């Protein structure tokens, strides 16, 4: 992993809060900044993904899908169709 330096100018109140939170979390200020930026980028990437999906959506196909689902589907069960049963799991004994 290649690291690079970047001069970051923060308001004194933000820097004070950042230092306080890094102490509380037990991590370096640099690590807390990296995690915060990674979380924000993931949030923005997810929002863009949804925006792109909405832009590419076909409203008529979506409305048809909702109508089909509300009627319980249009296809009858076929011979051999079964609902698989989940295997029973044994409960673990709780330790007291």
Is residue 82 assigned to a domain? Answer: no
| Residue the block writes with tokens 């970051």 | 8
Is residue 91 assigned to a domain? Answer: no
Between 31 and 65, where is the model more confident? 31
Segment of 21-25, 61-65, 85-89 carrying the highest mean pLDDT: 21-25
CA dihedral 45, 48, 49, 53 (to 10 degrees): 180
Q: Give the structural domain span for 16.
A: 12-70
> In the chain, how many domains are there?
1
| Residue the block writes with tokens 């049963």 | 85
CA dist., res. 49 & res. 44, Å (int)? 9
Q: What is the per-residue pLDDT across 63-78, written as a single tens digit (0 to 9) for each?
A: 988 888 887 766 777 8
Is residue 26 assigned to a domain? Answer: yes
Between 65 and 50, where is the model more confident? 50
Is residue 31 assigned to a domain? Answer: yes
Is residue 88 assigned to a domain? Answer: no
Is residue 63 assigned to a domain? Answer: yes
- On the CB side of 85, how many CA atoms lie within 13 Å of its CA? 3
Residue 94: is its pLDDT beyond 80?
Answer: no
Q: What is the pTM of this model?
A: 0.58
Q: What is the mean pLDDT of residues 21-30?
A: 96
Is residue 47 assigned to a domain? Answer: yes
Identify the CA nearest to 29 among candidates 38, 39, 37, 19. Answer: 19
Is residue 75 assigned to a domain? Answer: no
Q: What is the mean pLDDT of residues 46-69?
A: 91
């Amino acid at each position: 992993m290649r690291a690079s330096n970047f001069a970051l100018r923060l308001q004194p109140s933000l820097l004070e809060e950042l230092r306080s939170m890094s102490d509380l979390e037990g991590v370096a200020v640099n690590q807390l900044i990296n995690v915060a930026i990674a979380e924000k980028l993931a949030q923005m990437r997810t929002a863009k993904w949804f925006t792109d999906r909405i832009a590419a959506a076909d409203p008529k196909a979506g409305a048809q899908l909702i109508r089909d689902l509300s009627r319980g589907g249009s296809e009858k069960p076929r011979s051999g169709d079964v609902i698989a049963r989940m295997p029973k799991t044994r409960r673990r004994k709780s330790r007291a």
